[in-house]
Structure 1
Amino acid sequence: MFGSVLGAFKPSPTSFVGHAWRIPWRLSKTRKANVRKRLRDVDNVIDVLSASGVECKQLTLAQALPKEHEMSTRDKYTTFSRTAKNHRKGVHKVPHFTKRPIPRTTPAGF
């Protein structure tokens, strides 16, 4: 009875299953390479700005952060999460992780 009444809003098998897409369990080689490339690009921007003579508080804080080649793999590919086990989760599990800055350090006390 409901199928004829609801018409186009009839539930499909996909709606009963859950997500149609999945987040991969681990980062692939190409995704890791892209993360490293994004970190290097940010390092280059910080270097160019500091060489140009611009001074501001955020630039000073950014210069204090470790560069991509100085970071451990743990810091490159995982990010801090209060709810995750061991307080770390893969950077690819963060929504829109390619558009957000990757935190380069863990908060103090963790």
Structure 2
Amino acid sequence: MFGAFRPSLAAQGGLLWKNPFRMSATRKANVRKRLKAVDDVIAAVAESGVKCKALDEALALPKESEMLARDKYTVFSRNAKGYRKSVHKVPKFTKSTNRTSPPGF
């Protein structure tokens, strides 16, 4: 394109997703809220009398109130420095069942 609206080098490249290094207090509160919502759904399904392997595995996971802060806000990542990665950099963290880390991490 020519004229005033031609793409510049800065517009064509650069950082696409701007994730902050640390999680803000609001993001942490939202993570806790989502974890509590997942706990409520698991409890409601368990009370309904449904029996399945996935429900048994979900009931074995720790609840939000029982989790350490390290496990609430970070997940194990074999590629990350220190083997921990912040959950705000993980897509759909609460939909995956990785509330526990491998032994030793």
TM-score tier, shorter chain, comes to 0.7 to 0.9
Instruction: State the partner residue of 1:85.
Output: 81
For residues 12 and 107 of structure 1, the distance between their equivalents in structure 2, rounded to whole angstroms, comes to 46
Q: Secondary structure at the match of 2:78?
A: coil
Q: Secondary structure at the match of 2:75?
A: strand
Q: When the two structures are superposed, what TM-score results if normalisation uses the length of structure 2?
A: 0.84
1:97 aligns with 2:92: yes
1:76 aligns with 2:72: yes
> 1:100 offset after TM fit, Å?
3.7
Instruction: State the partner residue of 2:36.
Output: 40
Identity among equivalent positions (%) equals 54
1:81 and 1:88 in contact (8 A); partners too: yes
Unmatched 5+ stretches in structure 1: 1-5
Q: Secondary structure at the match of 2:85?
A: strand
Q: Quick check: which has more Rg, 1 or 2?
A: 1
Greater helix fraction, Structure 1 or Structure 2: 1
1:109–1:14 distance in 2 versus 1, CA, 3 Å: same
2:35 and 2:94 in contact (8 A); partners too: no
Task: Provide runs of 4+ in structure 1 moved above 6 Å.
Answer: none
Unmatched 5+ stretches in structure 2: none
For residues 37 and 11 of structure 1, the distance between their equivalents in structure 2, rounded to whole angstroms, comes to 41
Q: When the two structures are superposed, what TM-score results if normalisation uses the length of structure 1?
A: 0.80
Aligned length: 104
Instruction: State the partner residue of 2:20.
Output: 24
